[in-house]
Structures are given as C-alpha cells and as structure tokens.
C-alpha cells in the first residue's frame, strides 16, 4: 500500500457511525446499499468485468476462483515456480494438485512450459502477474484455448496493471486480487475475485458465503446452494477499499511516469540488459524494473552496488516463499491437517505425480539467481527517479570496469 490517510479514516468512521456493520442487514433485505456491494460495482467498472466479489484475502479469492471452476481431487492445476506460495496452496485447499512449471526470462510463467505440462487431468492454468509485471497473456490464452483449459489469473501483485490495454485479472475465466498490506492498494487484509461468466461466479459466491442459502440473492442463482465457508469481506474494509480504488489510477500513473524517466535516463547504457517485458512500456503497474546478468555473481554484485547507494533491489531467488523450492509444505506433500483430508493422499489424486524436487526447475532457479529487480515508488519525486537512475548507471559502469579500475 502506498497511499492512505484521512479519506480512509473518514470512510471507516462513516461506516461505524452508521451502525451498519454487516453487509446483509436483515433476512428480508438485500445488500444494494452495502459498502461491499458498491465496492464490487466500482471494481467491475474499473477492471472491465461483469462480476466481482469482495473476500477476506487474495488466498480466499483464488480459492473461490478455483471453486468457481469446480476444481477438486483428481485435477491438476498449472502454476509457475515463481509466485507466492498461496497461489499453489489455494489449489491444495480445494483438493486439487498444483503442477509447478518454469518461468521464462520475463520471470512470468512460460507459455511453452504450460503447454508441455498439460495432461488430460489439467483443469486450470494460473498465470501470475508478479510485482506489477505482466504475463504473456496472448500466448497463454492461445494455449488455454487450444487445450480447452480454463485460466485463473492471479493478479494479487498487479492490481490496476494492464496488458495491451486490458486490465490484469480480467482476461481469464476467473481472476483474483489481494488487498494485503504489501499490494498496490489495500486495506491490511482483503481480496476480490472476478469473472465474466455467471455460472463460475455463482459457484465462487456460494463457496465464499456460508449464508448463501438464506440470502435473497440465492433466488437469482441458477444452481442449488451447497455448503460454503465464510470468506466475506466486511463493511469497514469495503469502505476503505472504495477510497483506495479511487486512488489506484493515480498511483499507477505516477509509477509509470517515474519508471519512464528512469528508463530514459538509462537509455544507451550498454552495460545494462533490461529484463524482457511481455507488453508495452505503459502496461503493468509500473512498479518494477528488471535487469538480466550473465551469471549469479554479476547479478549479486549489481544488487549489492545498488544497496550501497540505498537503492532497494534484490535477486528474486532470495524472495523466500515466492520461490517454489521453498514451498516445503507442498514439496513435502503436507496438504492438510490430517491424512484423511490431505489431497496428496486422496485416491483420486493417486495418478497425479507432480515433480516436487526442489531442483526440478533448474532454468527457473537460474533465472531467479541472475535477475535483479528494483522497485519504482510512485511517491518519489522526478528528482528521486533521476537519482535512482544515476545510481543504477553508476553501479553498471563500475562493475563493467576492469577489476583494478573499480
């Protein structure tokens, strides 16, 4: 979260003063005026989707997305080896099995690796737009169409990003966002799932609301209500998120403007290789710039040289649970609190044998070791952006110089 203040405080106070702290005020009333409903409508308009549902977290949103597709035991779901573990853990939470595949030089899921991993059991593909960067959606959607496999877009780290003008999260069959503290906009904890397909959305909504059976909206659903959980976002945070959503375009516009300045300043610096980007420079959220290096030690030295100049940067291999090799509960097949509920022990999953060795994806590990990512803070001044660019250039020139001249 970059920006929050008095407007959020006022929005929260307004809800508390109203005394209406629950989305569904009574059994005979709908939620037409609820903050959550208004947020969902505003989200639909901003992201260009037909349906949106406010949830307690991004993990919850992804679970609803997977549930919306009817995923469960016996199903394989393709996820990238570079994403927060929750992308894969949410697959396990609905009883299915994540199949982890390579990313490419853009650090996003490799469309060729997706295609190579598809089997008759594959029931979903999950492209994850990491760090405000975007996946190669044209190729991914083409693979998905070719094999008739649905796509769940994990846009938790890319709220407000675009891909060729379309909003991240809006291009797949389902999309999920996180509003936790570390995201572009947020409310501490929260999430949203979206879809353009009524049936998928309805299944996700029932799953997220254990009270669906006695809600007025149950009458509008075209399927019987099954037992759900309670993953409903609350009114106080919905009010805060409405303010945050109104800030979104300003945040991404500022990040893009500053990123553009940095890239312009670095133009012609032959010592640097930019990480490839899957769409135009105006796409994504503008929060990240990546650099590629020939080997690990060059990348490490560059990251250290930036750190020396107080420029935040790092190699994604060091990003903990964002690297599949560190997803111990999944790698060790501890899928639940008991053997009976562990999807990895489920008879329908017996034929699913994913490769969970920590070194199963050497290419992904190598790319994560040899790339350096640096962030663009939308709240910087243009002078800050120029200082950062100068620091990046200095580091590159210094490291390119012969050892004795450094």
Ligand X SMILES: Cc1ncc(COP(=O)(O)O)c(C=O)c1O
List contacts with ligand X (CB under 6 A).
Answer: 57-59, 83-84, 86-87, 128, 154, 156-157, 178, 180, 191
- Minimal CB distance residue for ligand X: 58
User: Considering the complex, what minimum distance in angstroms separates the CB of residue 84 from ligand X?
Assistant: 4
User: Considering the complex, what minimum distance in angstroms separates the CB of residue 224 from ligand X?
Assistant: 29
Q: 165, 281 in Cβ contact below 8 A?
A: no
- The nearer residue to ligand X, 169 or 191, going by C-beta atoms, is 191
User: Considering the complex, what minimum distance in angstroms separates the CB of residue 87 from ligand X?
Assistant: 5
Q: How many CB atoms lie within 10 A of CB 299?
A: 22
- The nearer residue to ligand X, 59 or 279, going by C-beta atoms, is 59
- The nearer residue to ligand X, 190 or 391, going by C-beta atoms, is 190
User: Considering the complex, what minimum distance in angstroms separates the CB of residue 190 from ligand X?
Assistant: 7
How far from 174 is each of 56, 105, 179, 354, CA to CA, in Å? Answer: 17, 26, 17, 24
User: For 162, phi and psi rounded to 5 degrees?
Assistant: -125, 160
User: Considering the complex, what minimum distance in angstroms separates the CB of residue 65 from ligand X?
Assistant: 11
- The nearer residue to ligand X, 78 or 86, going by C-beta atoms, is 86
User: Considering the complex, what minimum distance in angstroms separates the CB of residue 269 from ligand X?
Assistant: 31
- The nearer residue to ligand X, 150 or 186, going by C-beta atoms, is 186
- The nearer residue to ligand X, 87 or 285, going by C-beta atoms, is 87
């Amino acid at each position: 979260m970059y920006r929050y203040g008095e407007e959020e405080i006022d929005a929260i106070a307004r809800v508390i003063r109203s005394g209406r702290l629950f989305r569904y005020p009574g059994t005979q009333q709908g939620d037409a005026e609820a903050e959550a409903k208004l947020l969902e409508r505003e989200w639909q308009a901003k992201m260009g989707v037909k349906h949106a549902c406010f949830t307690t977290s991004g993990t919850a949103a992804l679970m609803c997305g997977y549930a919306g597709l009817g995923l469960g035991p016996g199903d394989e779901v393709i996820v990238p080896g570079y994403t927060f573990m929750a992308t894969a853990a949410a697959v396990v939470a609905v009883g299915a099995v994540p199949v982890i595949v390579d990313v490419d030089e853009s650090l996003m899921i490799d469309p060729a690796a997706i295609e190579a991993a598809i089997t008759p059991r594959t029931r979903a593909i999950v492209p994850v737009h990491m760090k405000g960067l975007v996946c190669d959606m044209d190729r991914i959607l083409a693979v998905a169409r070719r094999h008739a496999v649905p796509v769940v877009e994990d846009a938790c780290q890319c709220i407000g990003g675009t891909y060729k003008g379309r909003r991240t999260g809006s291009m797949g069959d389902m999309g999920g966002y996180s509003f936790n503290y570390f995201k572009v906009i947020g409310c501490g904890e929260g999430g949203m799932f979206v879809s353009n397909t009524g049936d998928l959305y309805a299944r996700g909504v029932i799953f997220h609301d254990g009270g669906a059976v006695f809600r007025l909206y149950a009458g509008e659903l075209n399927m019987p209500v099954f037992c759900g959980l309670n993953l409903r976002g609350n009114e106080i945070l919905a009010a805060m998120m409405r303010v945050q959503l109104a800030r979104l375009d300003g945040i991404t516009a500022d990040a893009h403007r500053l990123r553009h300045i940095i890239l312009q300043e670095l133009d012609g610096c032959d010592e640097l290789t930019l990480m490839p980007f899957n769409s135009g420079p105006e796409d994504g959220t503008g929060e990240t710039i990546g650099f590629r290096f020939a080997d690990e030690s060059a990348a490490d030295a560059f990251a250290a040289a930036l750190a020396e100049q107080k420029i935040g940067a790092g190699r994604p291999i060091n990003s903990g649970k964002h690297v599949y090799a560190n997803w111990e509960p999944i790698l060790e097949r501890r899928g639940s609190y008991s053997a009976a509920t562990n999807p990895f022990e489920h008879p329908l999953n017996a034929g699913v044998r994913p490769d969970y060795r920590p070194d199963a994806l050497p290419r992904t590990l190598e790319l994560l070791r040899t790339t350096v990512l640096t962030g663009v803070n939308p709240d910087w001044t243009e002078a800050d952006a120029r200082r950062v660019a100068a620091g990046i250039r200095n580091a590159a020139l210094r490291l390119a110089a012969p050892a004795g001249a450094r």
